[in-house]
Amino acid sequence: MNKDNISALLTGIGVVTLIVGFAIYFNNPELNKAPLQGGGISNVQLSIDKSHFKKAPEFQGITSYINTNETKISDLKGKVVLVDFWTYSCINCIRTLPYLVDWNQKYSDKGLVIVGIHTPEFEFEKNIDNVKQALTRFGIKYPVLLDNDHGTWNAYQNSYWPRKYLVDAEGYIRYDHIGEGGYMETEKVIQNLLSERSKQQGMKILNLNQTKLSNPELQSIDFNQIKTPELYFGYQYARDGLGNIEGFNPEKTVDYKITGSNLEPNVIYLQGLWKNNADNMELVGKNGKIMLVYSAKSINIVAGGKGQATVKEDSKASQIMNTSFKGKDINVQGKFTIDAQRLYNIADHTNYGNHYIEINAEGSGFKAYTFTFG
């Protein structure tokens, strides 16, 4: 993780280390949740010089293990290992998970082991019960290791969510991909490494075919049309100030007021009594309001604590309540209720465009962490 916690929506890099050499695909390496749309790669040869490949570092500082006993990278020698750095409230990570679940189902009995390295961005993501709930929600059955102190993250010199490494049966890193996308090439490398493993171990060479996973949500995303970056509520995470003249006041409770009717785009505005926490804004009064002008097709909020919120968009509550573009976490009354510390999808439009959204939070203890977009 970059210590300034940058989340990218528009650009990314993928580093694809092929079995006959390596190739680097990149757009902009400065952002740490970077989607990438990748192309295919050709078949690879099996007889190669591995002297220029790096050995996969050992897992370090793991605090808990889910879906497995204590696991080391050295224990997995002889297997093809996909190491996936992720965290459960990251929208970029969430959009990759259907592919990992699919690959686990297709290849786990053929020599592939997927290991999710769950490295938290927010404090609540360190809670093992929260992570277990997320695994159930996403249908994840492969091993997940809690890297709460970023020991393995640092050992791999990682700075991005999500990031995937493919490790061959001899423990060498043969593929490195940052961000979303590149699913066809990733699966092709998985197949090639499994075939190489079969040859090395004197097994029958596998005849594997690629399949396309239907994921309409991912296929409909055009990152170039998302004009609003991820926006953080916590004073330690935010890259820009609030729209309110009161601004951030670390660890203090502030009565935020709205002055004027024109809101600057891509800037969070608050109304009501809110406590400034390091990674979130916490509602102290009974009612509070969050306002934002954004440009995207869908919007999510990472929230926690307790309470509920009514969502209005473009000044019309019915826009959210009764139309096809209300978010999947919004009920027919135009509300969402905090049931866990997680990401809530609050609006999902058919087309990209500019929108005004208003969240009327009810109940002291409502916590807002970040807005993300699709």
Helix (H) or strand (E) holding 192: helix 183-200
- Which of 219, 249, 267 marks a domain boundary? 219
| 74 and 136 share one domain | yes
Judgement on whether residues 308 and 353 belong to the same structural domain of the protein: yes
Q: Are residues 119 and 152 in the same domain?
A: yes
Whole-number pLDDT of residue 217: 54
| Same-domain status, 333 and 280 | yes
173 part of a folded domain: yes
> Is there a domain that residue 8 lies in?
no
3-state secondary structure of 73: helix
Give the span between the Cα atoms of 339 and 86, in whole angstroms: 22
Same domain membership, residue 241 and residue 151: no
Residue 309 lies in a domain: yes
35 cis-preceded (ω within 30 degrees of 0): no
> How far apart, in Å, are the Cα atoms of 113 and each of 301, 346, 353?
32, 35, 41
- Whether 2 is in a domain gets the answer no
Render 100-115 in DSSP notation, one character per residue.
HHHHHHHHGGGTEEEE
Predicted local confidence at residue 337, as pLDDT: 97
Last residue of a domain, one of 189, 219, 249: 219
Q: Which pLDDT score, from 0 to 100, does residue 321 have?
A: 57
The pLDDT value recorded for residue 213 is 66
If asked whether residues 146 and 259 sit together in one domain, one would say: no
CA-closest candidate to residue 347, choices 337, 360, 339, 358: 358
What's 147's domain CATH number? 3.40.30.10
Domain ends where: 219, 245, 277?
A: 219
Tell me if 135 is assigned to some domain. Answer: yes
CA 83: distance to chain centroid? 15
How many other C-beta atoms are found inside a 10 Å radius of the C-beta of residue 261?
Answer: 5
**Residue 352 near residue 226, CB atoms below 8 Å:** yes
Residues 235 and 193 grouped into a single domain: no
Residue 297 forms part of a structural domain: yes
DSSP of 123-185: GGGG-HHHHHHHHHHHT--S-EEE-TT-HHHHHTT---SSEEEEE-TTSBEEEEEESS--HHH
Strand order in the sheet with 23-26: 23-26, 13-16, 173-178, 163-167, 80-86, 112-118, 144-146, 64-66
Contact 297, 374 (CB under 8 A): yes
Of 143, 14, 22, nearest in space to 84 by CA: 143
What contacts 180, CB < 8 A, 6 or more positions away? 12, 34, 35, 36, 92, 95, 96, 162, 218
**Structural domain that includes position 297:** 226-373
Calculate the CA 76 to chain-centre distance: 26
- Same domain assignment for residues 97 and 231: no
pTM of the model: 0.85
Selection from 78, 66, 48 nearest residue 117 by Cα: 66
* Distance from C-alpha of 38 to C-alpha of 164, rounded to nearest angstrom: 14
230 and 204 in one domain?
A: no
Total count of domains within the chain:
2
Whether residue 5 lies inside any domain: the answer is no
Return the pLDDT at 33.
52
Res 104: pLDDT: 97
Regarding whether 200 and 261 lie in a shared domain, the answer is no
SS3 118: strand
Question: Is residue 6 assigned to a domain?
Answer: no
Residues 54 and 186 in one domain: yes
Under a CB-based contact definition with an 8 Å cutoff, are residues 298 and 225 in contact?
no
What is the C-alpha to C-alpha distance for residues 11 and 33, in angstroms, rounded to an integer? 8
- From CA 297, how far away is CA 49, in angstroms rounded? 47
Give the HSE-up count for residue 35: Cα atoms under 13 Å, Cβ half-sphere: 21
Mean pLDDT (10-residue bins), the chain, 374 residues: 37 37 32 40 55 95 98 97 99 96 95 99 98 98 99 98 98 97 94 93 76 60 94 97 98 95 95 99 97 97 96 71 80 93 95 95 97 97
Tell me: do 214 and 352 sit in the same domain.
no
